[in-house]
């Protein structure tokens, strides 16, 4: 793969990063694949260029910077808060466009002022894009996974269904399929009649014993990655999920929530009205949402540029709250995107909880917009 040329405006971006008190970091192009495969989400997983080292360990070409920057922070035991900036190549399989291209961005780690750091991530990305594309009006789409999670939990769904819906956040087709399944439950296919009978009776000990005997008889036990108890627990969970039905009123509420799309300045009142009318307690999530809106207004960002979409998410599994994308008004190409990922550093091995938010700039798309100006 031939190397792409560094965009001529890269120096301007680095100046902007420096003026914001960031520390420039770089990470190896060859990365361990496991963190991306485990935490980045299906959309990125299928785009990764995979390879192996001589020990058979899975490696990949760097597909994004957030996970490598977080790993570097953990390995160097650097204190927080810390703002890192990066600019370099990433590698992804794409149907159109180059397979390697430049990204730049800021990862803001450890700032406990959640609303202020959320607002700063949006404001910084907009300010940098405005400098690079001074004649292009921008539009911002904003979502909030934590508000969606609060709605799903308030509906009282089993934990397994909550997890499924939350993992599908931002994927409208997948969400729609899950809601159809909740409306018309289907039995778990292919279950052995004896297993079905034991599940129906709720006899967990007998079920474990039956699974253990079957594994011994088939020789599966020597290669099993799960114990009989784990398999029994998983079967019970699948049965509960398959039998769960969300009543029509609750389904309508969830669909009503997901249909919300309005200017950010009107979103707080709309969400509060929805929660009151539905009888759902979303207090903490809505308080955080309101605090972010106020913090954004204080940065000087024009709230009229921002549309809140309740169903909007980004195709990376590690987001936990704010998600946003910035584009040239009327254009489909995303020029910048980011969000909050408060659980990621703990999952990567950090010993303490580290709140985090960040954004990335797509330099190839910005270059195209500059050429079209």
**Residue pLDDT, tens place only, 210-269:** 777 777 777 665 445 577 787 777 666 665 555 556 667 888 899 999 999 999 999 999
- Is 319 labelled a binding residue? yes
Distance from C-alpha of 151 to C-alpha of 246, rounded to nearest angstrom: 14
- Is 107 labelled a binding residue? yes
Ranking 41-45, 163-167, 254-258 by mean pLDDT, the lowest is 41-45
Is 0.85 topped by the overall pTM?
Answer: no
Q: CA triplet 176, 333, 134: central angle to 5 degrees?
A: 140
Ranking 63-67, 74-78, 325-329, 353-357 by mean pLDDT, the lowest is 74-78
Q: Between 219 and 108, whose confidence is greater?
A: 108
- Is 245 labelled a binding residue? no
Helix (H) or strand (E) holding 91: strand 82-91
- Is 318 labelled a binding residue? yes
Confidence of residue 143 (pLDDT cuts 50, 70, 90): very high
- Is 292 labelled a binding residue? no
- Is 343 labelled a binding residue? no
**Residue pLDDT, tens place only, 180-216:** 888 775 655 556 677 667 666 777 787 788 777 777 7
**Superfamily the domain 10-151+262-372 falls into:** Bira Bifunctional Protein; Domain 2 (3.30.930.10)
Comma-separated ranges of CATH 3.30.930.10 domains in the chain: 10-151+262-372
- Is 314 labelled a binding residue? yes
**pLDDT score recorded for residue 69:** 97
- Is 49 labelled a binding residue? no
Instruction: Judge whether 102 and 89 are in contact, CB under 8 Å.
Output: yes
């Amino acid at each position: 793969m031939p190397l792409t040329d560094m965009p001529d405006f890269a120096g301007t971006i680095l100046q902007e990063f420096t003026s914001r008190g960031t520390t420039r970091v770089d990470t190896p192009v060859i990365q361990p694949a496991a963190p991306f495969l485990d935490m980045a989400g299906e959309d990125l997983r299928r785009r990764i260029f995979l390879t192996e080292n001589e020990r058979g360990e899975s490696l990949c070409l760097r597909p994004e910077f957030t996970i490598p920057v977080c790993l570097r922070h953990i390995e160097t035991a650097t204190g927080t808060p810390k703002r890192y900036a990066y600019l370099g190549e990433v590698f992804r399989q794409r149907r159109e466009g180059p397979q390697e291209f430049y990204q730049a961005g800021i990862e803001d780690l450890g700032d406990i002022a959640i609303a202020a750091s959320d607002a700063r991530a949006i404001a910084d990305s907009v300010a940098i894009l405005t400098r690079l594309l001074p004649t292009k009006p921008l539009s911002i789409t904003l979502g909030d996974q934590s508000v969606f999670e609060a709605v799903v939990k308030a509906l009282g769904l089993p934990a397994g269904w909550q997890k499924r819906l939350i993992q599908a956040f931002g994927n409208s087709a997948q969400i729609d399929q899950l809601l159809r399944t909740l409306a018309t439950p289907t039995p778990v296919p292919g279950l052995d009649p004896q297993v079905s009978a034991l599940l129906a009776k709720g006899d967990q000990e007998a079920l474990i014993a039956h699974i253990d005997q079957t594994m011994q008889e088939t020789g599966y036990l020597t290669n099993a990655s799960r114990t009989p108890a784990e398999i029994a627990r998983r079967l019970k969970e699948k049965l509960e999920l398959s039998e769960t039905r969300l009543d029509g009123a609750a389904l309508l509420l969830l669909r009503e929530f997901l249909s919300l799309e309005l200017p950010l300045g009107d979103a707080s009142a709309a969400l509060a009205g929805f929660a009151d009318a539905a009888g759902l307690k979303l207090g903490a999530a809505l308080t955080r949402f309101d605090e972010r809106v106020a913090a954004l207004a204080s940065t000087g960002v024009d709230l009229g540029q921002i549309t809140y979409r309740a169903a909007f998410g980004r195709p990376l599994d590690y987001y936990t709250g704010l998600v946003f994308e910035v584009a040239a008004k009327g254009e489909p190409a995303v020029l910048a995107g980011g969000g909050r990922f408060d659980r990621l550093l703990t999952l990567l091995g950090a010993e303490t909880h580290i709140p985090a938010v960040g954004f990335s700039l797509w330099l190839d798309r910005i270059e195209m917009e500059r050429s079209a100006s």
